[in-house]
Amino acid sequence: MKSKKSQQVVPNLSGGWSVKSYGSTRAFKTFDTQGEAVAWARSKSKREGLDLYVHGRDGMVRYKNSYRTVPSSPQHGNGRK
């Protein structure tokens, strides 16, 4: 299941590649190559702590990466404060 906090790299009708937010119909940016789109989306996803889904020309997800940060809990010795 795709997260609402994610970026999607998807093919566009003009033959290039678009980066969209999940559920959005409008693209943030468009690129000539998938590699350029993935590089930009990966940087944005890392910066903002998002999931990244990269689709192929057929629309199927090729791969997913999560750049979410998990808050660390304070360490207490033996479970005591």
pLDDT value for 1: 47
Instruction: Answer for the pair 58, 11: CB distance below 8 angstroms, yes or no.
Output: no
Average pLDDT of every residue of the chain:
87
Q: What is the C-alpha separation between 47 and 16, in angstroms, rounded?
A: 24
- pLDDT confidence band for 76 (50 / 70 / 90): low
Residue 24, token pair as written in the block:
């959005």
Domain residue extents for the chain: 6-66
pLDDT value for 2: 54
Does the pLDDT at position 6 exceed 70? yes
Instruction: Answer for the pair 20, 52: CB distance below 8 angstroms, yes or no.
Output: no
Q: What is the mean pLDDT of residues 29-51?
A: 96
